[in-house]
Amino acid sequence: MRVMAQMSMVMNLDKCIGCHTCSVTCKQAWTNRTGTEYVWFNNVETRPGQGYPRTYEDQEKWEGGWTLTKRGRLRLKAGGRIKNLATIFSSPKLPSIEDYYEPWTYDYETLTNAPLQEHSPVARPMSLITGKDMNITWSANWDDDLGGSELLAADPILAKVSDKVKLAYEQTFMFYLPRICEHCLNPSCAASCPSGAIYKRAEDGIVLVDQDKCRGWRKCVTGCPYKKIYFNHKTGKAEKCTFCFPRIEVGLPTVCAETCVGRLRYIGLVLYDADKVLEAATVTDPKDLLESQRGVFLDPFDPTVMREAERAGIPRDWVDAAQRSPIWALISTFKVALPLHPEYRTMPMVWYIPPLSPVVDVVQETGEDAEEAGNLFAAIDTLRIPVEYLAELFTAGDTEPVTGVLKKLAAMRSYMRDINMGRPGDPSIPAAVGMTTGEMDAMFRLLAIAKYDERYVIPPAHAEQAHNLEELATECSLDYDGGPGMGGSGPFGEGSGAGTPLAVENFRVLKDRQTSDTTAGAGTGPATRVNMLNWDGRGTPPGLFPGRDGPPAEPRTESAPDGQDTP
Amino acid sequence: MTTTLDIVLWVVVPYVCLAIFITGHAWRYRYDKFGWTTRSSQLYESKLLRWGSPLFHFGILAVFAGHVMGLGIPKSWTDAVGLSESVYHAMAVSVGLLAGLATVVGMSLLIYRRRTNGAVFGATTRMDKTMYLVLGVVIFFGLWNTIGSGVLNLYDHYDYREGVSVWFRGIFTFQLHPELMAEAPFPFQAHGMAAMLLFALWPFTRLVHVFSAPLFYLWRPYVVYRAKSERFGARAPRRGWEKSEKTRR
Ligand code: HEM
Ligand code: SF4
Ligand code: SF4
């Protein structure tokens, strides 16, 4: 047994209202830069729907993740090591920008400098890639809220349950699926990277791209079946969700979780046996993957596990945290959370509680009591389309675990109604789904009223190093190799040159903003854009104001255009 | 009989370029690991790249292998193993022509793509253009040497293996022969000079990606783990105040 700790997340889909707050705050925190306009570390998909990038779940087309060879061994679906290298000069299965969308801004300038005319001037959309005028035809959530429209025909998951779909259009259903990187136990992105630049942190399992080692071979984009590696087209490096590691290290939840309006995200540790991962990912029948992955997790209350964890150097407070972990509770104790697409065999570590709402909605429409356990149970058994659809997402098509979870949620709903009405809880309802009233109460507490520190049980990084990680003021935060030197852009374009620790970057950004009169976006060629949320009123970013007399103000900056190889 | 100009052109310039090549790479690796990338443009366009890039790359790698043979292996060695002049020549010319052709076609596709695709053109830097210009000149004269001298015999049976090659090896063994280059036909001189210019530019262009050819991938374990101590910016904890037990969360 080799115990390792994994930081993971569970999302309760019934509570997602599809507001995209998580996506926006994540973007503001991490990807509001040139080159990452189309990059959404967190995105929220309406399901059924095509997803982002379009149809990414069709692995016959995109060849992401792992597959079993005839001899029953795990191999990258896009091909083995030799094929991977042989196709390095042009990657065969790389999504193009059209499969995402062409990012754009608007030509706001004309609004201010158009001559007097009969009709009001319009700000036309302009591509952030070419700088030319463009038509907007798609975006990261173009099919938002369009459950039931003809766009759905392209949903690869719907295609799998397809023949029954036509008759089910009368009973359309819809729910939201927020997605981040899965921080897999068996990450195919890392396995596809020829340079070995993608690594899994031994302490908490967060999967990161070493920006100094990435050479832009862009093979990881193909490798990830969830398409959660994005290629920064300005810097030529791969980027991905970082699980907000600087926040996690000091015990704070990720930005998406912190700002989630529905409070539906849970973060915590799970302990797992690293020696069993490969075997678990290799089981023959994809429908067994859910059970085999659950089997990899270790019970943090088991004395053997605790002892082994200590031997493996996992600090005591981390084991405590693993015991209080909401993730462990939802995945293994209550068994209501399910992995997204276990059939990709990457052992994903962001799990989901499937939504009961499609079922409740249907029952409600019939005029029956949608909080009565019997009605809901019957509906779960008869509503094949939503259940099969959920099964294709979460259990490789096996409907049984999905109906099991939905019935637990239905039972909770109906059991708690009695209690909320001041009636005694009916113990036969939890019993019908194999739970005691005590367990039902505990599950309700965790799902419905858990407070901040119960939803996010995040032990700070190991105490001896917390001092450094928290970047406390007791040490000069500029005291690192190289020192705070050259500011802004390096000699080879945006962000080149030696890396800087995070706190220094903040320090420098702040200082820059206080003392300069240009914004970060100034002078970046045709794709110049002003980030209104970051703009602090200083300076005159190009295109924002008309000049004092006549033409718009030129950016006052000497810096070379982005990405120029000028030494 | 060597003039000062010959010495400058065929002794000083090579060493200066070599020095820039080496220190340039060391400098760039030290200060700009982040900029060390292929700067792939496949996200923008892949129909032309699908043909252009493999043609160019397989071609140029074959050309490189040919140079290792032609420049690196002395004629006496091939003679010693009994490889006759005519067989060697036929081999070199045919393989060289094929590889050169693939390179030129591939590179034309790549340059056409760079110029005509708006997104790719927008991402083309001044250094890219300079690099393509010099690379183009090198390849042009290289191919011309193969055709003009190897096939058409325009240069009086010039044997580069007794001229250019000896001069080239001499740079590394400090047995300097500027006179051999001074005597060489013009296209050979131009090819050599342009190549040296390319080497001097090399560290400052996207061509640095060549030194990252990831062959190690064939042997390393699929999933890489890294512990904190190995990570960038981490260092051993220093003496200082520990938080008290009571304030721990
Ligand atoms: C040794 C192994 C090499 C590997 C693995 C390699 C790989 C790559 C890759 C992945 C790209 C990016 C293509 C794209 O997606 O846009 C690229 C571009 C390029 N490589 Fe290489 N390369 C190698 C050797 C070379 C050599 C020897 C040269 C020339 C001397 C070269 C010249 C170029 C050029 C000029 C481009 C830019 C193509 C364009 O987009 O216009 N490469 N290379
Ligand atoms: S989901 Fe994340 S960890 Fe898993 S393969 Fe994709 S990028 Fe890698
Ligand atoms: S912030 Fe929360 S509720 Fe809003 S879309 Fe994201 S996950 Fe759903």
Six token digits for residue B136: 């183009």
What are the pLDDT digits (tens) for A55-92? Answer: 999 999 999 999 999 999 999 999 999 999 999 999 99
Distance from CA of B218 to the nearest CA of A (A): 6
- Could A468 and B234 be called an inter-chain contact, meaning their C-beta atoms sit closer than 8 Å? yes
Which whole number is the average pLDDT over B101-108? 97
From residue A50, alpha-carbon distances to A25, A56, A71 in Å are: 23, 8, 34
What are the pLDDT digits (tens) for A408-453? Answer: 999 999 999 999 999 999 999 999 999 999 999 999 999 999 999 9
CA atoms within 13 A on the CB side of A366: 15
Cα–Cα nearest to A233, from B37, B212, B202: B37
Kindly report which listed range (A468-472, B119-123, B175-179) carries the lowest average pLDDT score: A468-472
Q: What is the pLDDT of residue A526?
A: 38
Six token digits for residue A301: 């209350």
Pairwise CA distance, residues A314 & A205, whole Å? 13
Cβ pair A450, A326 in contact under 8 A: yes
Q: Helix (H, G, I), strand (E, B), or coil: what is residue A543?
A: coil
Ligand nearest to the CA of A243: 2
What total number of domains does chain B contain? 1
pLDDT at A151 over 50: yes
Whole-prediction pTM? 0.84
Pairwise CA distance, residues B153 & A208, whole Å? 57
Asked if B53 reaches chain A (Cβ–Cβ under 8 Å), the answer is yes
- Could A563 and B39 be called an inter-chain contact, meaning their C-beta atoms sit closer than 8 Å? yes
Q: What is the pLDDT of residue A478?
A: 44
Q: Mean pLDDT of all residues in chain B?
A: 89
Residue A297 C-alpha to ligand 2 middle, in angstroms? 19
| CB A337 near ligand 2, within 6 Å | no
Which whole number is the average pLDDT over A195-206? 95
Q: What is the pLDDT of residue A498?
A: 45
Chain B positions in Cβ-Cβ contact with residue A236 (cut-off 8 Å): 37-40
Binning pLDDT at 50, 70 and 90, where does residue A358 land?
confident
**Crossing angle, helix A384-394 and helix A399-420, to 10 degrees?**
110
Cα–Cα nearest to B195, from B3, B21, B35: B21
Q: What is the pLDDT of residue A486?
A: 36
**Count of H-run helices and E-run strands, chain A:** 25, 15
What are the pLDDT digits (tens) for B121-169? Answer: 999 999 999 999 999 999 999 999 999 888 888 888 888 888 999 999 9
Cα–Cα nearest to A418, from A440, A449, A434: A440
In terms of average pLDDT, the best of A469-483, B68-82, B163-177 is B163-177
Which whole number is the average pLDDT over B195-223? 95
Which whole number is the average pLDDT over A470-495? 42
Asked if A468 reaches chain B (Cβ–Cβ under 8 Å), the answer is yes
- Top pLDDT among A120 and A465 is at A120
pLDDT at A491 over 60: no
CATH number for the domain spanning B225: value is 1.20.950.20
- Could B216 and A196 be called an inter-chain contact, meaning their C-beta atoms sit closer than 8 Å? yes
- Could B38 and A526 be called an inter-chain contact, meaning their C-beta atoms sit closer than 8 Å? no
Asked if A231 reaches chain B (Cβ–Cβ under 8 Å), the answer is yes
From residue B50, alpha-carbon distances to A19, A95, A455, B57 in Å are: 40, 13, 48, 11
Pairwise CA distance, residues A185 & A346, whole Å? 6
Chain A window 487-506: which residues touch B at a Cβ cutoff of 8 Å?
Answer: 490-493, 495-499, 501
What are the pLDDT digits (tens) for A245-259? Answer: 999 988 899 999 999
pLDDT at A544 over 80: no
Domains of chain A from N-terminus onward: 1-108+121-353+452-482 (3.30.70.20), 366-450 (1.10.3650.10), 486-567 (no CATH)
Pairwise CA distance, residues B227 & A5, whole Å? 12
Pairwise CA distance, residues A311 & A334, whole Å? 29
- Could B227 and A498 be called an inter-chain contact, meaning their C-beta atoms sit closer than 8 Å? no
What is the share, in percent, of chain B residues with pLDDT greater than 70?
91
Domain interval for residue B25: 4-248
What single-letter amino acid sits at A397? G
What is the share, in percent, of chain A residues with pLDDT greater than 70?
79
Q: Mean pLDDT of all residues in chain A?
A: 84
CA atoms within 13 A on the CB side of A3: 23
pLDDT at A340 over 70: yes
- Top pLDDT among A264 and A157 is at A264
**Crossing angle, helix B85-116 and helix B47-67, to 10 degrees?**
150
Cα–Cα nearest to A500, from B234, B184, B233, B167: B233
Asked if B38 reaches chain A (Cβ–Cβ under 8 Å), the answer is yes
**Count of H-run helices and E-run strands, chain B:** 10, 1
Kindly report which listed range (A123-137, A466-480, A542-556) carries the lowest average pLDDT score: A466-480
pLDDT at B43 over 50: yes
Q: What is the pLDDT of residue A512?
A: 54
Strand pairing of B224-226 and A237-240?
unpaired
Binning pLDDT at 50, 70 and 90, where does residue A520 land?
very low
Asked if A15 reaches chain B (Cβ–Cβ under 8 Å), the answer is no
Binning pLDDT at 50, 70 and 90, where does residue A472 land?
very low
Q: How many residues does chain A have?
A: 567
Q: What is the pLDDT of residue A553?
A: 46
Ligand nearest to the CA of A89: 1
The CB density around residue A41, as the number of other CB atoms within 10 Å, is: 26
What is the share, in percent, of chain A residues with pLDDT greater than 90?
67
Six token digits for residue B147: 């055709």
Strand pairing of A350-353 and A3-12?
parallel
- Could A251 and B249 be called an inter-chain contact, meaning their C-beta atoms sit closer than 8 Å? yes
Binning pLDDT at 50, 70 and 90, where does residue A488 land?
very low
Chain A positions in Cβ-Cβ contact with residue B40 (cut-off 8 Å): 216-218, 231, 236
Q: Mutate which of B23, B27, B42, B205 to disrupt the A interface (most A C-beta within 10 Å)?
A: B42
Asked if B210 reaches chain A (Cβ–Cβ under 8 Å), the answer is no
Ligand nearest to the CA of A221: 2
Is A212 buried (19+), middle (13-18) or exposed (0-12) by CB count in 10 A?
Answer: middle
Chain B positions in Cβ-Cβ contact with residue A480 (cut-off 8 Å): 233
pLDDT at A274 over 60: yes
pLDDT at A168 over 70: no
Pocket test of ligand 1: the residue of B21, B36, B37, B38 to mutate, having most ligand atoms within 8 Å of its CB, is B38
Which residues touch A395 (CB under 8 Å, ≥6 apart)?
Answer: A287, A290, A338, A342, A401, A402
Q: What is the pLDDT of residue A412?
A: 96
Binning pLDDT at 50, 70 and 90, where does residue B79 land?
confident
Which whole number is the average pLDDT over A151-180? 74
Q: What is the pLDDT of residue A549?
A: 62
